[in-house]
């Protein structure tokens, strides 16, 4: 997580596990106590659990037919195949939605003639999030009698009724929280349904699409594996910030293996360095293993930029292409959109922070609700995250679109912003999302009342502890304990994400060897060591305020992750400093 202010950030050492359990696991696995401790911290307590953790097994994936309505969904699709029906694959414009549409379309396309299957991504600006009446009308014009909705639809009761009036059936594949009523669809696949017995509740929208493909494939071609689609699934897992635990860990592990072994042309192009995409012939990209971090910070923003600046269907086109040249040409345009997005992001963030800094009431508020009619709808979610980094409290950023006020919400650790917004539901046209991220739409005349009530809700429900940013620390280390062997085992803890974050360590009394300097906008480049031990290259993003103290030789306690730095063909260990205390 981004560190906001060292004076405010709390370093929280993860509880030390039962020492007997740690010792036993250390002996059973023949690993040192530090590794055993971090495993037990992650709920890995036995040899068998460690084997599953380090070597996930596709055979441990749950039976897709355990999901409520899966049998109905499969039967309805088989009926569409047998009856020569036209079908539409429908998905949201974000990474989860576009990967889900790409996955299901890629699987089903060989079973349908070209004119009988299509996909649809709603326009972020004219249609908004989720299923739209316009999309249903397009399906009707194409004579579709079945729409399969992915990563959306669980609350679209009225839209599904509208489709039924046009004799179009729906299959809903969603992972968001259901409302009081479920849509009257042929099947509703959502593990978060209260009546769904599926054992794992945290699949992404694309993950649920994959479970549908698994179930369908067991009927259509049971001897053919579908695991080549997992590169799309891991992209959704990384971008949608779902827990990398249980079934998601298995899907992510093999998805990353696919990306590193045989990536589809679109994903390979999306992961290329910016300078290479821009045509800088002097840039020779390093060959290194792709990680979840690369997806989160390189591929995902580019996919999202298609929907934010242009149209989400461009992302699907890219993910589906089988031609490398087409992929490279498409990613160039998407890269341009992402550059535009970054510029809008910077401008809007500066405006949002200026509003808060000039408002005396904001200094004592428990929430941020910011609105400017000219802000770009496609970037409000990113800006909400930026504001959250600076002013650590539940944040909503709103703009005007089609006569309505609409925007995105982001939350602090352990605070359910979706639930807080729900307390204001009577003032809203619609809302939806997760505990930490949500979207909402309201009429302009309700904005001020919503702002006041939302602040009251947050003020009465947020705890003092939730107001303080926290960095969770796995272990305290001495510099001499950091070496290649230790890092090689750490790498095997991947893939990382919520529920299995990359290990974070603390080392105290670290000194710079005189090379401390500011790089980029406000990043601190150092070489840190202690007691004459070998020093390590270190980078502290947005920690430039410490440059004077560190360069003066004042000892620092640092909170950091260990990573590989690839430079000019050389690979070395580097400390990624999250926070510092002088």
Residue 518: the pLDDT is: 94
> Nearest to residue 119, comparing CAs of 314, 270, 302?
314
241 and 271 share one domain:
no
Distance of alpha carbon 174 from alpha carbon 99, whole angstroms: 13
Which residues partner with 472 through β-bridges? Answer: 12
Residue 50 placed within a domain: no
135 and 252 share one domain:
yes
342 and 367 share one domain:
no
451 and 478 share one domain:
no
231 and 303 share one domain:
no
Residue 33 placed within a domain: no
162 and 71 share one domain:
yes
Residue 44 placed within a domain: no
User: Strand, helix or coil at 86?
Assistant: strand
Distance of alpha carbon 4 from alpha carbon 19, whole angstroms: 34
Neighbours of 227 (CB within 10 A): 16
Helices (H), 88-229: 95-108, 133-141, 157-165, 205-220
Residue 487: the pLDDT is: 94
Look up the CATH number of the domain holding residue 477: 2.40.50.460
Residue 329 placed within a domain: yes
Give the distance, in angstroms, between the CA of residue 361 and the centroid of all CA atoms in the same chain: 33
> Nearest to residue 464, comparing CAs of 542, 412, 387?
412
**Number of domains observed in the structure of the chain:** 4
Residue 39 placed within a domain: no
Name the domain boundary from 196, 231, 257.
257
Contact between 404 and 441 (Cβ < 8 Å): yes
84 and 224 share one domain:
yes
Distance of alpha carbon 551 from alpha carbon 336, whole angstroms: 38
Mean pLDDT of residues grouped by 10 in the chain (582 residues)? 53 88 95 94 93 95 98 98 97 94 97 95 85 96 98 95 98 93 97 96 97 97 93 96 94 97 94 76 61 92 85 92 91 88 92 94 93 93 93 96 93 95 95 87 96 97 94 94 92 92 95 90 93 88 92 94 86 93 90
Residue 280: the pLDDT is: 55
At 446, phi and psi to the nearest 5? -95, 0
Cis ω for the linkage preceding 427 (within 30 of 0): no
Distance of alpha carbon 67 from alpha carbon 201, whole angstroms: 10
242 and 390 share one domain:
no
270 and 290 share one domain:
yes
Residue 23 placed within a domain: no
Residue 570: the pLDDT is: 84
564 lies in which domain range?
Answer: 10-15+471-581
302 and 219 share one domain:
no
**The pairing of beta strand 404-410 with beta strand 437-442:** antiparallel
403 and 524 share one domain:
no
462 and 477 share one domain:
no
Give the distance, in angstroms, between the CA of residue 18 and the centroid of all CA atoms in the same chain: 33
Residue 378 placed within a domain: yes
Neighbours of 268 (CB within 10 A): 18
Name the domain boundary from 232, 257, 282.
257
**The pairing of beta strand 505-512 with beta strand 470-473:** unpaired
Distance of alpha carbon 438 from alpha carbon 428, whole angstroms: 13
Look up the CATH number of the domain holding residue 84: 3.90.1640.30
Model pTM score? 0.88
Name the domain boundary from 289, 323, 346.
346
Contact between 184 and 155 (Cβ < 8 Å): no
Helix then strand count (H, E) for the chain reads 21, 19
CA distances from 193 to 182, 196, 417 (A): 9, 5, 20
At 468, phi and psi to the nearest 5? -110, 125
Residue 521: the pLDDT is: 85
Residue 201 placed within a domain: yes
């Amino acid at each position: 997580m981004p560190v906001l202010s060292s004076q405010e950030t709390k370093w929280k050492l993860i509880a030390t596990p039962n020492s007997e359990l740690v010792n036993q696991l250390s002996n059973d696995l023949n690993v040192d106590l530090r590794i055993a401790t971090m495993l037990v911290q992650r709920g890995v307590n036995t040899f068998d659990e460690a084997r599953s953790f380090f070597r996930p097994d596709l055979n441990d994936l749950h039976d897709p037919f355990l999901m409520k309505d899966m049998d109905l969904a499969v039967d309805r699709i088989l009926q569409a195949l047998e009856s020569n029906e036209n079908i539409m694959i429908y998905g949201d414009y974000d990474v989860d939605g576009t990967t889900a549409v790409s996955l299901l379309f890629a699987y089903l396309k060989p079973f349908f003639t070209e004119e009988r299957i299509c996909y649809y991504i709603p326009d972020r600006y004219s249609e908004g999030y989720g299923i739209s009446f316009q999309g249903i009308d397009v399906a009707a014009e194409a004579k579709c009698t079945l729409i399969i909705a992915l990563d959306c639809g669980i609350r679209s009761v009225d839209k599904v009724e509208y489709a039924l009036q046009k004799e179009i059936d729906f299959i809903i594949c969603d992972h968001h929280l259901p409302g009081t009523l479920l849509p009257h669809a042929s099947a509703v696949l959502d593990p978060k349904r209260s009546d769904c017995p599926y054992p794992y509740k945290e699949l992404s929208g694309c993950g649920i699409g994959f479970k549908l493909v698994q179930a369908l494939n067991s009927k259509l071609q049971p001897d053919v594996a579908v695991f080549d689609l997992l590169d799309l699934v891991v992209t959704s897992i990384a971008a949608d910030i779902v827990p990398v635990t249980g079934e998601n860990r298995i899907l992510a592990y093999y998805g990353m293996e696919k990306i590193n072994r045989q990536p589809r042309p679109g994903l390979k192009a999306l992961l290329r360095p910016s300078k290479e995409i821009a045509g800088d012939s002097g840039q020779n990209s390093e060959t290194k293993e792709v990680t979840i971090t690369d997806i989160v910070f390189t591929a995902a923003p580019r996919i999202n930029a298609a929907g934010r600046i242009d149209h989400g269907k461009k992302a699907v086109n890219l993910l589906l292409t089988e031609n490398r040249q087409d992929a490279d040409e498409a990613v160039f345009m998407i890269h341009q959109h992402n550059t535009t997005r970054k510029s809008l992001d910077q401008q809007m963030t500066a405006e949002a922070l200026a509003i808060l800094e000039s408002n005396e009431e904001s200094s004592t508020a428990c929430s941020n609700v910011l609105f400017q009619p000219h802000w770009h709808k496609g970037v409000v979610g990113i800006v909400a995250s930026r504001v959250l980094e600076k002013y650590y409290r539940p944040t909503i950023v709103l703009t005007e679109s089609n006569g309505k006020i609409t925007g995105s919400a982001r939350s602090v650790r352990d605070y359910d912003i979706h639930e807080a917004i729900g307390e204001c539901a009577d003032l809203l046209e619609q809302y939806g999302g997760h505990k930490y991220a949500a979207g909402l739409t309201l009429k302009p005349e309700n904005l001020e009342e919503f702002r006041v009530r939302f602040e009251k809700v947050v003020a009465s429900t947020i705890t003092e502890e939730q107001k303080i940013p926290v960095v969770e620390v796995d272990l305290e280390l001495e510099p001499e304990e950091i070496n290649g062997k230790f890092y090689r085992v750490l790498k095997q803890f991947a893939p990382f994400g919520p529920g299995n974050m990359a290990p974070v360590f603390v080392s105290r009394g670290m000194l710079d060897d005189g090379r401390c300097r500011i790089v980029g906008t406000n990043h601190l480049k150092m070489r840190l060591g202690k007691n004459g031990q070998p020093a390590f290259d270190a980078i502290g993003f947005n920690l430039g305020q410490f440059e004077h103290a560190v360069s003066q030789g004042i000892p620092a306690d640092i909170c950091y992750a260990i990573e590989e730095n690839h430079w000019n063909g050389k690979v070395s260990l580097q400390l990624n400093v999250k926070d510092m205390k002088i």
